[in-house]
Amino acid sequence: ELITMASAADNPMKRPAAQSAALSVVPAKQARTAGELIQHGGSANNKRLVSAGPSRTSSLHAPIMLLTGHEGEIYCGKFSPTGSILATAGYERKIFLWTVYDECENLAVLTGHGGAILELKFTTDGETLVSAASDKTAALWDLEAGLRIKRLKGHEKLINSVDVVRRGPQLLCTGSDDGTIRLWDRRVRGHTHSFDSGNAVTSVAFGDTGELVYSGGIDNSIQAWDLRRSACTMRLRGHSDTVTGLALSPDGNYLLSNGMDASLRVWDIRPYASQDRCLKILSGHRHSFEQNLLRCAWQPDGRRVTCGSSDRFVYVWDCASRQVVYKLPGHTGSVNETHFHPKEPIIMSVGSDKKVYLGEIEP
């Protein structure tokens, strides 16, 4: 079985101009029906067809992979900690699981949410996926079984964001339009803490040790909530519009935030940092009237950051120079989330055009 390759002229993503020699897109197979599982990995008989072009930098089947099968806008996507699985979800209330390598097979479609899925996170062991949705619930999914194993109920309005603690107890946090940030322990029923921010919460992120939770919302500020004191201990001001995404740096010292003011900011969140914690402001991307919650992410080595953009491009910045190093075309709708592969120079993007792209970049 051979995969038909698109011509170079049809290539929807390019590298930086200096390296934009002929690349090809491999269209991935259509998604499977809900709950249908297949063996992880592609067939050993698949023949690879790779066009002439720049030297490859990753183990992707082709320099750019297009994954199709979603029938609604895609709001979120994440690589698993091992980098072998990709999860995507959005308006149609389903979670799609894909293999990252070979033909990017669709492994499963997970169903159970009654509203649009707005954010996904993997647990650090990669065995569980957590989802937040507009049906006022969050859910935990066992990836091996392809089943929902826990449903988190208690928020009074839609849940915009969810995060998983990096280490320590099995804690989750959620942020909702009801203005609260709630802490959940997978081992017990109901939430263990609740903080009232006073405004709709659009993004949450744990601190490195799990003792702090950061929240951003429609009041344009970022708050740090101390679980031990049950209080807000820090407020970061600088954004002039809603904070739509938060991401902790790999070393745990910095917080990345994206706002509807079309700025990406890097904050120093170390305990004894100076009063002015905003270290860098990055710009170039756009937010539009759609007001989607455009998320942001760090490269695993902390050298680059990325985020979604309503102008249909994927943006990647170099942290040291603050310059845009990649502005990747291809999407025909708002790019809602981008994410770096944990082990290889690959970037993922999902958009309102119902498309998922995997593209390799320079290391």
Position 228 in a domain:
yes
CB 119 within 8 A of CB 129: no
Percent residues over pLDDT 90 in the chain = 79
CATH number of the domain where residue 312 is located = 2.130.10.10
Q: Note the pLDDT of residue 41.
A: 36
In 3D space, the residue among 191, 194, 241, 233 whose CA is nearest the CA of residue 212 turns out to be: 233
Interval 53-66 mean pLDDT = 91
Between 80-94, 171-185, 276-290, 348-362, the lowest mean confidence (pLDDT) is in: 276-290
pLDDT value at residue 54: 72
Per-residue pLDDT for 268 more than 60? yes
pLDDT at 22: 35
Measured CA to CA, the distance from residue 316 to residue 141 in angstroms comes to: 30
Residue 235: inside a domain: yes
Number of domains in the chain: 1
User: What is residue 49's predicted lDDT score, i.e. its pLDDT?
Assistant: 42
Does residue 106 lie within any of the structural domains? yes
Cα–Cα dist 330/327, whole Å: 10
- 20 within a domain of the structure (yes/no): no
Better-scored residue on pLDDT, 343 or 288 = 343
- pLDDT of 30: 61
Q: Classify residue 58: in a domain, yes or no.
A: no
The answer to whether residue 11 sits within a structural domain is no
Mean pLDDT of the chain: 87
Q: Which of 252, 257, 307, 318 is nearest to 285 (CA)?
A: 307
Q: Is residue 57 part of a domain?
A: no
Q: End-to-end CA distance of the chain, in Å?
A: 32
pLDDT in tens, 152-179: 999 999 999 999 999 877 899 999 999 9
Please tell me the predicted confidence (pLDDT) of residue 276: 86
Backbone angles phi, psi at 9, to 5 degrees: -65, -25
CA distances from 24 to 31, 56, 105, 278, 360 (A): 21, 12, 18, 40, 12
Mean pLDDT of 307-327: 96
User: Domain residues for 79?
Assistant: 64-360
Burial 21-56 (b: 16+ CB within 10 A, else e): eebbbbbbbebbeeeeeeeeebeeeeeeeebebeee
Q: Which residue has the higher pLDDT, 103 or 168?
A: 103
pLDDT digits (tens, 9 = 90+) for 1-52: 322 223 333 333 333 333 333 344 655 556 655 544 433 333 333 334 444 5
Contact 307, 319 (CB under 8 A): no
CB of 244 closer than 8 Å to CB of 295: yes
How many CB atoms are located within 10 Å of the residue 119 CB? 28
Q: How far is it, in rounded angstroms, from Cα 313 to Cα 349?
A: 9
pLDDT score for 61: 95
199 within 8 A of 205, measured Cβ to Cβ: no
CA angle 16, 20, 23 (to 5 degrees): 125
In order of 199, 208, 357, the CA distances from 349 in angstroms are 29, 25, 5
> Is 217 among the domain residues?
yes
- Return the minimum-mean-pLDDT range out of 30-39, 191-200, 255-264, 343-352: 30-39
Q: Is the pLDDT of residue 251 over 90?
A: yes
Per-residue confidence band for 296, with pLDDT thresholds at 50, 70 and 90: very high
